[in-house]
Amino acid sequence: MTSHQKSCLECAKSKRRCEPQTPQCPRCARIGLDCVYKNPPVKDLSQHLGRKRARRGQAHLNQPSSDGPLSSAPSGDVVPVLGEASPRGTKTREISGKLSVSPIPKTHQPLYRQLWSPGFHPGSPVQPTINRLPLKALMRNVTSWPTKFVQRLEAPFIHASLRNASILPPPLEAAFGACATYLTKTPKTKDMVMGIIERRVLQLIDLDLSILSIESHLACLQAFLLLHIIQLWDGDARQRAQAEMQSYTIENWALMLHMRVTEASKEQDTPLDWTSWVTLESARRTTLLTLLAQGIYEMHKYGVCSCM
């Protein structure tokens, strides 16, 4: 009988989730195991949704980016403009006359899952005892973010000034519509609603972050996180499996954003104005809470967390 096993033998033996890659999957590379496949990895639909996008995220880390300008909403709030790129070849440029932003450095950056630090992770032989009560409280908090965003335009990673803006950044506007539709779903319409969310996520993943400004990158990550939470905690088995594969992508997006704002902060010779500070601080908080939400899900499902 033909075997369709895609995971490597070590991951299958340990009953761990495997991300098939050659010459080694990330787990075997991380803990120093011999990675052998019964069926060598090939390109198929699941790889298109998972590893191909993870590699695309890795490629973005090694490509220069040009940052688009900020546009001002009628209320005076800064709104990112998608699709507007600055001329290539410039090392730095001015945004709103205050914030200088450098392209993404060409230095090699490993994928998030290839980063390792001592401590417990899914490959650890010892499993810690988990207090479920605080974990459930954290889960309720995280899963409430899409609802709070729709009802009050509030989320711990979105600055309060956004509530006074006359328009939302395009990615957040699309996420707002998808989240609002999700809150009004019925048992008969749930499949259609989850399909809308799935398509919105795929549209975000197909964006080329290397040509987006920090502000646009931030808005895309915030929209991705809101929809990702819905898929992880309230999707069916297929939606949850897709969201788990896309976890590598959203973590890479978060680390890329953190790297860009760190570089931008280092290059400032004068204090930032209020708008620029809000942008950089929102990016830092969004990065932190993206990794936190992913870590809470892993603790809930696996009992351990690989996030650093």
| pLDDT tens for each residue of 161-177 | 877 778 899 999 999 99
Q: What is the pLDDT of residue 288?
A: 94
Own/partner contacts of 270-274, CB < 8 Å, gap of 24 or more, are 272/98, 272/99, 273/96, 273/98, 273/99
pTM of the model: 0.60
Window from 3-12, 16-25, 68-77 with minimum mean pLDDT: 68-77
Give the C-alpha separation, 75 to 202, whole Å: 31
Q: Please say if the pLDDT value at position 93 is more than 90.
A: no
pLDDT in tens, 104-140: 444 444 444 443 333 334 444 445 566 778 888 999 9
Q: Which of 36-40, 73-77, 104-108, 113-117 has the highest mean predicted lDDT (pLDDT)? A: 36-40
Q: Out of 73-77, 193-197, 200-204, which region has the weakest mean confidence (pLDDT)?
A: 73-77
Look at the block and give the residue holding tokens 């709030």: 77
* Contact criterion met (CB below 8 Å) for 81 and 171: no
Residue 205 CB partners (closer than 8 Å, separation 6+): 53, 224, 246, 249
pLDDT in tens, 274-284: 888 899 999 99
Per-residue model confidence (pLDDT) at position 1: 55
pLDDT score of 51 more than 60:
no
48 pLDDT exceeds 50?
no
Query: Does 249 have pLDDT greater than 90?
Result: yes
CA–CA dist 165, 72 (Å, integer): 10
Judge whether 232 and 297 are in contact, CB under 8 Å: yes
pLDDT on residue 246: 93
pLDDT, position 156: 92
Confidence (pLDDT) at 86: 43
Distant-in-sequence contacts of 129-136, Cβ < 8 A, 24+ apart: 130/299, 130/303, 135/296, 135/299, 135/300
Locate 107 and state its tokens. Answer: 């230095």
The reported pLDDT for the residue numbered 18 is 86
Mean pLDDT for 15-31 is 83
Instruction: Tell me the pLDDT of the chain averaged across its residues.
Output: 76
